[in-house]
Structure 1
Amino acid sequence: MDVKEIAEKLVPLLGGKGNIASAQHCATRLRLVIRDESKIDQKGLDEIEDVKGAFSNSGQFQIIFGTGLVNKIHAAFVKELGDDEAAAPADHQEEMKKKMNPFARFARMLSNIFVPIIPAIVASGLLMGLLGMMKAFHWVSEDSALFVLLDMFSGAAFIILPILIGFSAAKEFGSNPYLGAVIGGILTHPMLLNPWTLADAKPEYMDLFGLSIPLIGYQGTVVPILLAIYVMSKIEKGLRKIVPNSVDLLVTPFLTVIITGFVSLVFIGPFGRYIGDLISISLQSLYDVAGVFAGILFGGLYSTIVLTGLQHSFHAIEAGLLANPKIGVNFLLPIWACANVAQGGAGLAVYFKTKNAKTKKIAIPAAISSFLGITEPIIFGVNLRLRKPFIAAAIGGAAGGGYVVLMHVVANAYGLTGIPMMAIAAPLGMSNLIHYIIGMIISVGVAFGVTWFMKLKED
């Protein structure tokens, strides 16, 4: 089938043009917002040869086509709809949010804020690894210009993290992103003590109308800037309703920054730091006390959480772990990674066991995708449809999750799982990397073995 023919077939199977609110695509899937999903002909979609799976998740109906094909089908599909507005990203986000429950909307919001920051965090993590190797193997002196510069480069993303989050969060909250960056700059101003590099230093205090304000910065924090930007967005939107258009450009930014700045330093900052530390320390305590059992539980349940879309909210928690000077590592990501590759292990077993040509065709590329950290194709295209492989993958994820917790495997960034996560596990030592690889092998092997001995019902 050519892409035009596929697009022509899709429209009636999805309930007609009037039932399709918007259409976007990612690397592998056509993402649609459907007004009434009861009108979808699921069986008809499954019969299209190039469709590797179709499912509803996080307010969207998603059809898996695979890399290289999905973008061509999307272009033909939008043309078939005859509605350019259906392909507008902003409209798609709004339509999608209408279909989501409050928890899913919250998770999606956090995802939209933190996913764009992933490249900066990963780059810093790799730089920290390079710096650690240079120090461990005495490649250069710690006093050398090269070492000092790399040290500056590696810590920069975490020091200005509130500025990055401020910009991204303001865009998500419908506010001016540059004002968001300014608020992030206020919370990380050089006049404020930097707890990221001076953890044991004590801040000075100043008196403001009888209020004692600690001169301590929020470099590397997450919760304070999120709360501050949320408040800022409300202030800015409220001001735009009452400030005359003729002076809006001057008055609204001025009042937004000065009001948000005072509120953030006096109230939001200290409260947000307390909440952020409470979350991070609570997780650290659970990790220390429950140990292997926590890894088994989280590794076994993670793929089920993926079905709800709530896994996107974990980016904020992981960023908080990295930003906390007392923790400084991400001990959750290796567990998620084991759960992800376990889905691939179960999918590989399905490939060898199935007699269905279409399932066999989907299983190998989808399994490889899961080894690279993208699990939706194997979950929705293969394992969940057959049910038992999904359960086997959960068992594999639990086994691998328990192992990486037992061996204290950690990462120094967030966002990468599967094989790519080796890049952010290696900087923390060869032992850390080896145990991570062993954890993945355990996950894949257990999931493959359990699936192999299960009787699949392919009807």
Structure 2
Amino acid sequence: MSKYTALSEQLLENIGGIRNITYVTHCATRLRVSYQNKDLIQMEKLENLPNSSGLIVRAGTIQVIIGPDVHDAYNEFLEVSGWNGTEISEDQPDEDITEISEEKRDFQYYLLKFSNFIAPIFMPIIPALITGGMILAIKNLLVNYFGVSVDSGTAQWMLNIFDAAFKFLPVYIGYTMAQQLKMQPILGAMLGAVLIAPTFEGGLIPEIFGIPVPQVNYRSTILPVILGVVLMYYVDKGLKKILPKTLSYFLKPLLTMILVTPVVLILLAPAGNLLSGYVADFVLWVSNTLGIIALPLLSMIYPYMVMFGLDKGLHPIALELLDKLGYNPVTIVIGFISNICVGATTLALATTMKDKAQKATAVSSGVTALCGVTEPAFYGQLISHPKCMIGHAVGAACAGLFAGFFQLKTFVHGGCPGWLTLLFFVDQNGNINYVLIAIVTALIGMAVSFLATRIVLKKESMPRKGKAGTR
């Protein structure tokens, strides 16, 4: 029995059993279980799961807040539930499982559905991106400040790890995208590999069936393979209907690749590459149009983006910025500022608590938030003290203004930015200018958030003066 066995058993029982589950995944801190029938869920019994910091229900998905150990909880839930990644067959509907559509299908609903779809595609590859990016930063520091030769085996070994993380992105995205669409993941990875295979990159495929193939470098890109896997999904679905089951095992993958790859190489991948440039240009246009107020505003609302899962939709944008510009001036910066301010705000709240157990929990949550994981602080402490978010907003605004003025930017993509991820700010040449700006930004955010929160809480606790009576 592991730490998360009881949580898994209670979650499975009260969500309606495995037959009510449509998908299981996780992000950096939350276990996500999607369901079909809302009526089968016993929500009151899910609200106090052991070893959980809270529960969020959004767009047909229950999100259990775990923290940094979420991968252990995910593996244990798979073990306990027996979930193997397959949905209930549409050909064999169960009389007890009928989809109940009580949620309002408004813009927010579809935005949340999009975020829930995006998260399982990008979250599994985040550890590789963090590792690759940070080891590149370490390599640059060693070359710049510690006399390591750029041509040495040590430097090249580190560069090799970086290349493995970023340049093979089409393969990773192809795998997770196909997995999310309930296809054979290896075919998605294979399609990604087609885009970066030496034969194509060497210019040896100038045409297919006489149709010219644009010669584009797709390493480190994401949209070309995403568009390709979407096409693969529909081709796979069509072939599944027309091929006899006895031949499907080897014929379906073969025909899928024969039909999909020419369309991807000739049309979809070049279009995706062009669209990637437009995405990066648009984000920069918004940032330049709003000027230095962009970072303060986005940093102030970032906790609510995390609350609704909308931050997951920023991953594609961040990767496109890094691919096209070599740096990211927006998404990771606002997460860094916001997370630091959430931590400081929670520590300020802890100083007002009398109960020792509650205080210890708040301090632990605050320190965790300073390191980049904010869910325990936000859901466990701040959401029940909403006025504290005023202190967060003031601190995020001040830190964001400073960061915007000095044009703070990151050179590594990854989740949970905080004090432990300062290497995100080391530039391609190993310079630490932006690291210093990030440190000052964080100190401003911490100081202002802490003081503003203390002031807000002090005013809230002050007795209100009544009107003087007359005789």
How high is the TM-score relative to the length of structure 1?
A: 0.80
The structural deviation recorded for 1:155 is: 2.5
Task: Write out aligned runs for 1:265-414 (5 A).
Answer: 265-324=265-324, 327-331=325-329, 332-355=331-354, 359-414=358-413
Q: Is residue 19–residue 36 contact of structure 1 (8 Å, CA) maintained in 2?
A: no
Q: Structure 1 regions of 5+ residues with no counterpart?
A: 195-202
C-alpha separation in 2, matches of 1:349 and 1:97: 43
Query: 2:465 — aligned with what?
Result: none
The structural deviation recorded for 1:294 is: 0.9
Once the two structures are superposed, residues 312-366 of structure 1 have per-residue CA deviations (whole angstroms, 9 ceiling, x without a partner) of: 1111211111222xx1122220221111121111111111123466643431121
In the superposition, relative to structure 1, how do residues 151 and 390 fare at CA in structure 2: closer, same or farther (>3 Å)?
Answer: same
Aligned positions, number: 434
Q: Is residue 67–residue 375 contact of structure 2 (8 Å, CA) maintained in 1?
A: no
Give 3-state SS (helix, strand or coil) of 2:346's partner: helix
The structural deviation recorded for 1:186 is: 1.2
Query: 2:439 — aligned with what?
Result: 437
Query: 2:469 — aligned with what?
Result: none
C-alpha separation in 1, matches of 2:26 and 2:193: 35
The more displaced of 90-99 and 118-127 is 90-99
C-alpha separation in 1, matches of 2:358 and 2:206: 67
Once the two structures are superposed, residues 135-166 of structure 1 have per-residue CA deviations (whole angstroms, 9 ceiling, x without a partner) of: 42472444444444443432332221111111
Alignment RMSD, CA only? 4.2
How high is the TM-score relative to the length of structure 2?
A: 0.78
Identity in percent: 24
Match of 2:110 among 102, 107, 110: 102
Query: 2:170 — aligned with what?
Result: 162
Query: 1:230 — aligned with what?
Result: 230
Query: 2:256 — aligned with what?
Result: 256
The structural deviation recorded for 1:289 is: 4.2
Query: 2:83 — aligned with what?
Result: 88
C-alpha separation in 1, matches of 2:421 and 2:197: 33
Q: Is residue 208–residue 262 contact of structure 2 (8 Å, CA) maintained in 1?
A: no
Q: Is residue 192–residue 216 contact of structure 1 (8 Å, CA) maintained in 2?
A: no
Query: 2:182 — aligned with what?
Result: 174
Query: 2:216 — aligned with what?
Result: 216
C-alpha separation in 2, matches of 1:143 and 1:50: 49
In the superposition, relative to structure 1, how do residues 450 and 144 fare at CA in structure 2: closer, same or farther (>3 Å)?
Answer: closer
One-letter amino acid matched to 1:130: I
Q: Is residue 24–residue 89 contact of structure 1 (8 Å, CA) maintained in 2?
A: no
Q: Structure 2 regions of 5+ residues with no counterpart?
A: 90-96, 462-471
C-alpha separation in 1, matches of 2:180 and 2:117: 7
The structural deviation recorded for 1:399 is: 2.2
The structural deviation recorded for 1:311 is: 0.8
Query: 2:194 — aligned with what?
Result: 186
Q: Is residue 29–residue 375 contact of structure 2 (8 Å, CA) maintained in 1?
A: no
C-alpha separation in 1, matches of 2:29 and 2:164: 33
In the superposition, relative to structure 1, how do residues 303 and 186 fare at CA in structure 2: closer, same or farther (>3 Å)?
Answer: same
Q: Is residue 97–residue 105 contact of structure 1 (8 Å, CA) maintained in 2?
A: no
Moved beyond 6 Å, runs of 4+? 14-17, 22-34, 48-51, 65-72, 91-100
The structural deviation recorded for 1:455 is: 3.8
1:449 equivalenced with 2:451 (yes/no): yes
The more displaced of 23-32 and 260-269 is 23-32
C-alpha separation in 1, matches of 2:149 and 2:25: 51
C-alpha separation in 2, matches of 1:97 and 1:410: 45
